[in-house]
Structure 1
Amino acid sequence: MKVILVFIILFIFSIALISKKLFEEPSGVSTSYEQEFINELAENAKLIEVKYSVRPSVMIAQAILESNWGKSELAQKENNYYGIKGENPSSYTTNEFEENEWIEIDAQFRSYNSLFESMEDYAKLLQNGTEWDEDLYQEVIEAPTYEESAQALQTAGYATDPDYPEKVISVIETYELYKYDYDTIEQESKE
């Protein structure tokens, strides 16, 4: 009788473990839409990185964050995947962190013809800076790690969110976007 009872308990325990594994979503696993979006961003990021020296992992993570996986109104209507402000007859509501609180503001954002054009303009902004400070984002470009690049974005004022570096790093690590940086490094070392 004890053998049967032990067998039943082991059987129930095994079923519980198997069902937990079946329904548990592992971290870093993305939906097919997310993976397709990452693949499209990565393809463009590798091309842009060669010309502008912007780290692909950071470029991809920022596009994911700023455009909500390409689903934001700004990305859908204006092909603006980085939340870059500029002249445009249309304005959009955005959240800004000012004086220790989140506020909504209306702002004008740049408009692009394609995802690639948005990514290239973002890379140009980091490489060339702004009208008032052409070296504003140099530390982002020159940082030896994606973590330091993310922190340099915050230091330079790219985003008002005080948690922005952590969010960029989290996206990079969750989706293993750092592998796109290594692809570029490996390619350069082969040449």
Structure 2
Amino acid sequence: MIVFGVAGGSTSVKASVASNFINRLKKPVEKVSKQNHLYPSVMMAQAILESDFGRSTLSTEANNYFGIKGAYNGQSVTMSTGEYTEKGKHYMTAAQFKKYPSIEASIRDNAYLLRHGTLTDPNYYSQTWTTNAASASDAAMALATTYATDMDYGNKLNAMIVKYNLDKLDANNGDTTINGAGNINEQIEQSLKKELGTTSSQPAKTAQSDQPQVRSKITSVPERIIPRSVFESRRQQPSADNDYTLQLNLSLEKIIKSNAAAKKH
């Protein structure tokens, strides 16, 4: 749903224009994305693509940075927009677009749309959520079949993410579901590792092999003070766990053996 004049926007943008735009939207995009479990990089890429870095008529006159159609609190503007048929043929048409009181309102409404979907399908954009999309790239590609009629929409968003290093927004977002691929099992595993004091992804046995053996406070039991060999016949070979046996004097050994014999009778 790219508004006329944006789809064919200039291919070369001055660094100052791009950086100023990204810096201006950075905080609200990160904040709203985190609140709604969306990828900031994808949201920023959408704003860039849909508004031509805030230079499109729709963004300057209606604060609409995401090409969202309809009315916002009864406010709207009618503009020409480029669409595509199912066969990929491009055509022009007039459409009603939401008019927002501020950029922040446009950002919040975009997040609301992605999180709540359509009237008939509230999960229509669910593949863009950090809990479902393994990466920002996947979330962007999901928009190609839902948000826009342009089948190349996802590739264009990913091109923006790469060109302007928007993935840094995801790293700074602080959303624990991001980079965890939205995998609840992975989140649980990481939480357990934190509680157990290990961050290694290897099995616990392997991780412990390189560290001194430390007994758990829960499972520790007193070591045997008197070795088993004291109670065995001298003809028997000491068991393997007697490598650490204590040296007892003969008188004590005799007393123990005599007591053991007495019990048998």
Q: Same fold (TM over 0.5)?
A: yes
2:31 paired residue among 23, 26, 47: 47
Greater share of helix = 1
CA drift of 1:185 comes to 3.9
Give distance in 1, aligned partners of 2:149 and 2:76: 24
Give distance in 1, aligned partners of 2:91 and 2:27: 35
- Is 2:37–2:175's contact at 8 Å kept on the other side of the alignment? no
Q: Does 1:138 align with 2:126?
A: yes
Between 1 and 2, higher relative CO (CA 8 Å, sep ≥ 6) is seen in: 1
CA drift of 1:50 comes to 2.2
Give distance in 2, aligned partners of 1:186 and 1:108: 34
CA drift of 1:33 comes to 2.1
Q: Which residue of 2 aligns with 1:107?
A: 95
Q: Which residue of 2 aligns with 1:184?
A: 173
The residue correspondences of 1:4-153 to structure 2 (distance < 5 A) are 31-87=15-71, 88=75, 90-98=77-85, 99-141=87-129, 142-153=132-143
- Is 2:70–2:76's contact at 8 Å kept on the other side of the alignment? no
CA drift of 1:54 comes to 1.3
2:164 paired residue among 162, 171, 175: 175
SS of residue matched to 2:84 = strand
Q: Which residue of 1 aligns with 2:155?
A: 166
| 4+ residue runs over 6 A deviation | 186-189
Identity of paired residues, percent? 38
The residue type paired with residue 173 of structure 1 is V
SS of residue matched to 1:176 = coil
Tell me the alpha carbon deviations over residues 135-180 of structure 1, each in whole angstroms, 9 at most, x when there is no partner. Answer: 001111121201100111112x201111111100000000000010
Instruction: Label 1:188 to 1:161 Cα distance change in 2 as closer, same or farther (>3 A).
Output: closer
TM-score (norm 2): 0.57
Higher radius of gyration, 1 or 2 = 2
- Is 1:79–1:118's contact at 8 Å kept on the other side of the alignment? yes
Q: Which moved more, 1:125-134 or 1:86-95?
A: 86-95
- Is 1:30–1:175's contact at 8 Å kept on the other side of the alignment? no
SS of residue matched to 1:74 = helix
The residue type paired with residue 67 of structure 1 is S
The residue type paired with residue 161 of structure 1 is D
Instruction: Label 1:164 to 1:42 Cα distance change in 2 as closer, same or farther (>3 A).
Output: same
- Show structure 1 runs of 5+ residues with no match: 1-28
Tell me the alpha carbon deviations over residues 50-109 of structure 1, each in whole angstroms, 9 at most, x when there is no partner. Answer: 211111000000000000111111101110000000035531000001132110000001
Could you say what the CA RMSD is over the residues aligned between the two structures, in angstroms?
2.1
Give distance in 2, aligned partners of 1:119 and 1:186: 18
Give distance in 1, aligned partners of 2:35 and 2:77: 31
In the alignment of these two chains, the number of paired residues is 161
- Is 1:49–1:55's contact at 8 Å kept on the other side of the alignment? yes
The residue type paired with residue 151 of structure 1 is M
SS of residue matched to 1:184 = coil
CA drift of 1:41 comes to 1.6
